């Protein structure tokens, strides 16, 4: 059985893109991001970034957080208990 030659050639979705594991961020890069977020007044992003760096949580676990996870009775909690989801 012969295949027809009507199929168009498509490049892979990841051609030319960096895929796979990324090298860890350097301390200088982390601090430059913190300073930039602070200077721009992006408090939410700065809080999520700091929590992510300090707790080593993944992005999907961070954005799933609710205010009640980190705030109790109008006061910021000194600790937040977050369960990491399975991949």
**How is residue 29 written in tokens?**
């890069």
Q: Is the pTM of this model over 0.95?
A: no
* Long-range contact pairs involving 49-57 (C-beta distance under 8 Å, separation at least 24): 51/80, 55/80, 55/82, 57/82, 57/84
Task: With H, G, I as helix, E, B as strand and everything else as coil, classify residue 77.
Answer: coil
Handedness of CA 51, 54, 55, 58 (dihedral sign): positive
Tell me the mean pLDDT per 10 residues along the chain, length 87: 68 84 90 96 88 82 79 77 69
What pLDDT is recorded for position 29?
Answer: 95
Length of the chain: 87
């Amino acid at each position: 059985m012969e295949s027809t030659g009507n199929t168009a050639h498509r490049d892979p979705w990841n051609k030319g893109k960096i895929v796979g594991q990324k090298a860890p961020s350097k301390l200088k890069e982390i601090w430059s991001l913190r300073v930039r977020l602070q200077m721009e007044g992006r408090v939410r992003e700065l809080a999520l970034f700091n929590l992510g760096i300090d707790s080593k949580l993944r992005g999907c676990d961070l954005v799933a957080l609710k205010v009640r996870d980190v705030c109790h009775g109008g006061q910021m909690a000194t600790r937040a208990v977050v369960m990491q989801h399975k991949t």
